[in-house]
């Protein structure tokens, strides 16, 4: 499973900083139950849906070619 940022399709790793819509910064901790677990500045763990932090989850190990085809298909279906 991979977690990527919507902005630039870069993978998110443990310890990376992610931001919510109010520009609050959180440290990425992990993925659990369909939600992203992050740590706030004061150390408390918080769960967010991936889209709340500008991310998306890929559940299958797919190739870049497969992702490109899916994006193209989504573009033409809209």
Please tell us whether the domain made up of 2-77 is placed in CATH 2.30.30. yes
16-65: per-residue pLDDT in tens? 999 988 889 999 999 888 889 999 988 899 999 999 999 888 776 567 77
Structure tokens at 77: 């279906």
* Rounded CA separation 18/49 (Å): 12
Instruction: Return the domain boundaries, the chain.
Output: 2-77
Structure tokens at 35: 């939600």
Note the pLDDT of residue 65.
73
Structure tokens at 17: 């900083």
For the whole model, what pTM was predicted? 0.66
Looking at the chain, which runs of residues are DSSP E strands? 2-5, 17-19, 25-32, 35-39, 45-48, 55-58
Least confident of 4-8, 62-66, 73-77: 62-66
Note the pLDDT of residue 26.
93
* Rounded CA separation 23/75 (Å): 28
């Amino acid at each position: 499973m991979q977690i990527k940022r919507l902005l630039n399709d870069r993978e998110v790793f443990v310890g990376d900083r992610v931001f919510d819509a109010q520009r609050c910064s959180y440290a990425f901790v992990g993925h659990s139950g369909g939600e992203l677990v992050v740590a706030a500045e004061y150390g408390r763990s918080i769960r967010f849906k991936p889209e709340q932090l500008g991310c998306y989850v890929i559940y299958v190990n797919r190739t870049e070619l497969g992702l490109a085809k899916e994006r193209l298909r989504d573009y033409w279906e809209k």
